[in-house]
Amino acid sequence: MNTAHTALPTLFLSAHDVATLVHRLGLPAALDRMAGTIHADYLRWQAFDKCARVASHSADGVIELMPIADGSTYAFKYVNGHPKNTQSGLPTVMAFGVLADVATGVPELLSELTLTTALRTAAMSVVAARALARPNSRRMALIGNGAQSEFQALAFHHLMGISEIRLYDTDAAATRKLMANLAGQPGLRLVPCDSIAQAVRGADIVTTVTADKTNATILSPGMIEPGMHINGVGGDCPGKTELHPDVLRQASVFVEYEPQTRIEGDLQHLPADFPVTELWQVLAGETAGRTSAAQVTLFDSVGFALEDYSALRFLREAARELGLGQALPLIPALANPKDLFALLRAGAPALALAA
């Protein structure tokens, strides 16, 4: 005879829970642990069942699903990108994600990923820059000072020793916002600039993280100096790019997952046979990253599902350590798992079922 069982609860992490988690760990430690988790998972590249994300495009933005799985855990992220949202008080990017057990399909974690996406994108930028930028890099240009800019700035400051960040945004208020948020950071000098060219002059690393859904030219070939590492973050869907194609032609280009980047990244403007290297190969020591101090390297970052898998894995581990999150009864408890209708019959009036 079947007896009722208690369905395994799903751990739910709200935006407040994730903010509390980061606060209790400390932002530098949280970024460092997330970067370490991403790096470790990239070293298991061959273990994952991978595909490009599924996107639904509209005139105003995009809504995407990003799935990935290894032999034990499945993950996906729901995420949007709507640059006009800020005009109505909404974030440009909003996201949530799930970790599930491959053996049973039980969803084990449901978490916000809006704040977490900014953290994981910054951590991923550092993972790439550690492999590709000059090791003595100290000056960075940050083009685009919107919602993700502080996370990029602090990740490079705390994890790579960047001591000067030169700032530019077409919206001067965004730059003022960034400077106010990061005021008083020890050892970090923030320099507002009047143009992109002024910001990138003499930079070791150039990070572009603009939001407009357009084929923009944020960086042109004349701005690129020998030895620069370019961290192209903002170009991340068809029709949304930041770099002149000749910038890619004069650089060694590294990507997350080539089939996705050729559709979504700045790479979309170049022929299908343009040579690129997937970053996992560099991290695993299978191919060279930077080979000389004068080499220009470019990480054409579009965001890949493996990074969200890593971020969710980090959140679950840290939440358990800190006792954060709520048990969410997402899956029903059934005395007989073949009798789903019993869930209605148990608490519903007979007339309501018969109506």
User: Which residues are designated catalytic?
Assistant: 236
136, burial (CB in 10 Å: exposed 0-12, middle 13-18, buried 19+): exposed
> Alpha helix (H) ranges present in 89-218?
114-132, 149-160, 172-181, 196-200
d(CA 283, CA 322): 31
- The two three-digit tokens of residue 277, written as one number: 């290297």
Give the phi and the psi of residue 114 in degrees, each rounded to 5.
-70, -60
Q: What is the DSSP letter of 7?
A: P
Measured between alpha carbons, how far is residue 45 from residues 224, 278, 281, 308, 310 in Å?
Answer: 32, 10, 9, 14, 12
First to last CA, the chain: 32
Q: Which amino acid is at 153?
A: A
86, burial (CB in 10 Å: exposed 0-12, middle 13-18, buried 19+): middle
Residues 6+ positions from 103 with CB-CB distance below 8 Å: 72
Measured between alpha carbons, how far is residue 214 from residues 33, 160, 171, 235, 315 in Å?
Answer: 34, 31, 16, 9, 33
Q: Which amino acid is at 290?
A: R
Sign, CA dihedral 183-185-189-193, equals negative
